[in-house]
A and B are shown apart, each in its own frame.
Chain A
Amino acid sequence: MKILVSVKRVPDPYAKISPNASGTDINRDGLQMAVNPFDEIALEEAIRLKESGKATEVVAVSVGSAESQEQLRTALAMGADRAILVQTDDPLDAPSVAKILAAVFRREQPNLMLMGKQAIDMDENQVGQMLAALLDLPQATFASKITVENGSATVARETDNGIETIKVPLPAIITADLRLNEPRYVALTGIVRARSKPLETLTPADLGVQPRARVRLTRVEAPPARKAGKRVNDVQELVRLLRDEARVI
């Protein structure tokens, strides 16, 4: 079984994010970049499936600028066998990314595609579902447990109503939620080994795709701040204020 995992380059989840001076984007000066944490979880799951003998090959794919090679090298160091960068500096929206990934999927013909449920920059939560629609494949989003057996995947999904379990025949698109696993730390030996693993670079045109973003970010601003209120001394004062001042009880 071959697994394709997509990996997005995003700001480090612990970095402080602020608007730039013109308010058109975030301030990227000296900003640390990382693999999107949800994609890292998807990748970890793929590598575990390989380690348990269920998968034979894990291929990481990224769409974006040349710098995304860094995140693909991280994926290779974690345990992916090879990597593909679809390199473009054009602005992309979720449908464009989904179209590029669909072309990569058709070229690679994996049995399973894993990806994060959303990227922590735009927080859209769209690409996996769009990709499943474009490829006319089953989808299982927000996975917190995946069991692969006899050509299908049983997936526990984190929904607003609780843990829902569904079964999808493979090939399918599965998106990872936070509690699917805890990704491993990259070992030094992995980093050394990653240098000799293949990393192929393509362009959208090589794949016959000409994406055009129809959703464009034009302005970035801080949300209105909430003012701090007052300290109360005890429960009696709290109950009195909630009743007489805030009038919510």
Chain B
Amino acid sequence: MKILVLAETDGGRVSEKSLPAIAFAQQKSPDAFTVLAIGDNLQCVETLTGYGAQAVLTVNHSALAKPLAERYAPVVAHYARQLGADAIVATTTTFSRDVLARVAGLLDAPMLSDIIALEQADGKLVAKRPIYSANLIGTFEVEGAPVVITVRGPAWGKPELKGAESPVQAAEAPTNIPTRSEWISLQGGSGGRPDLTQARVVVSGGRPLKDPETFEKYIGGLADVLGGAVGATRAAVDSGIAPNELQVGQTGKTVAPELYIAVAVSGSVQHLAGMKDSKVIVAINIDPEAPIFQVADYGLVADLYQVVPELIEALRNNRG
């Protein structure tokens, strides 16, 4: 199987979000995968060269300075055709959902979103992926090539570093890039904290945190002492306590850090869908019946306003 991995970029630099897709390619096609990075004057391309790809193709063009699907999809489709790729793969993110489903449309290719497993049997691909808000796992058979695939990051992890460096090859942008869509602005950002989907530690808060200042003081404070990222429940986001991009859950982000601390999070099915693959889960909640305790490795029934400051203090001392 010949795989083309689309690296995630913001148009200016390559993101480490691509790593699970590279790990997938290493497992399924160790000797025949190529990485494609699209942008303008792209930085950090060297972060993609250590994983055994046959080549890292970079397409730099002023029309590609921002990650617009309408502009990126024809570039991906062009190189998928040129390489004769059997699968076009990226890590599941809003970037890849936007771009790759359009690529599937351009190539008239079937697509599998957010897969957690893939096998080849009798010339068919058989994949598993969460369905019904991750309440169930579905097994899907796919026929035809190429197939467009997004992989669920936590299920594939990090790729292995290989000895040799992959060659970086500058590639031309195709001439048919439509430029109707126009990029205006991006508001947000993690404020210097690690990216939510990449962080080793995630601290999430729920609606009982009352307001943005309280949320930042307790959840942000606990995350900072652990060098972690901040997450939030849908209820916290809907009530304006936390920004949208921090939402963890079925309609937000899927995370699987080594340590997930849920503070005043009840544990709805939708929230659990986004974090239950975390290695160690800690729940702090005043309600002993909260469903979050059913998935937590360590549960503390307590008032967050009392124990979170204690925990911040204890962790600071633990660091010594």
Contacts and interface: CB of A to CB of B under 8 A. Distances in A.
Interface string B85-128: 00000000111011001111110111111100000000000100
Interface in B165-207: 178, 180-189, 196-197, 201
Interface residues of B, number: 86
Contacts of B224: none
A108 interface: no
B45 interface: no
Interface stretch (A54-62, A64-72, A189-197, A212-220): A212-220
B160 interface: no
Nearest to A23: B139
A198 interface: no
Nearest to A219: B139
B106 A133 contact: yes
A188 interface: no
Contacts of A1: none
A173 to B, nearest CB: 10
B244 A163 contact: yes
A222 B139 contact: no
A11 interface: yes
A139 interface: yes
B300 interface: yes
B68 interface: yes
A167 B300 contact: no
Given A161-B186, A215-B111, A123 B133 contact: yes
A120 B245 contact: no
B29 interface: no
Tell me if A's interface is mostly helix, strand, loop or mixed.
mixed
B185 A164 contact: yes
B296 A228 contact: yes
A143 to B, nearest CB: 12
B69 interface: yes
Interface string A221-249: 11100101111111110110111001011
B105 A131 contact: yes
B98 A129 contact: yes
Nearest to B185: A165
A242 B141 CA distance: 42
Contacts of A74: none
A138 interface: yes
Interface stretch (B20-28, B35-43, B54-62, B274-282): B274-282
A162 interface: yes
30 contacts: A13-B133, A18-B136, A26-B136, A95-B104, A95-B108, A98-B105, A126-B101, A126-B111, A129-B98, A129-B101, A139-B69, A140-B181, A141-B69, A162-B245, A165-B184, A165-B185, A166-B68, A166-B181, A214-B144, A215-B112, A219-B139, A221-B137, A222-B137, A223-B130, A231-B301, A232-B299, A233-B300, A234-B302, A238-B282, A239-B314
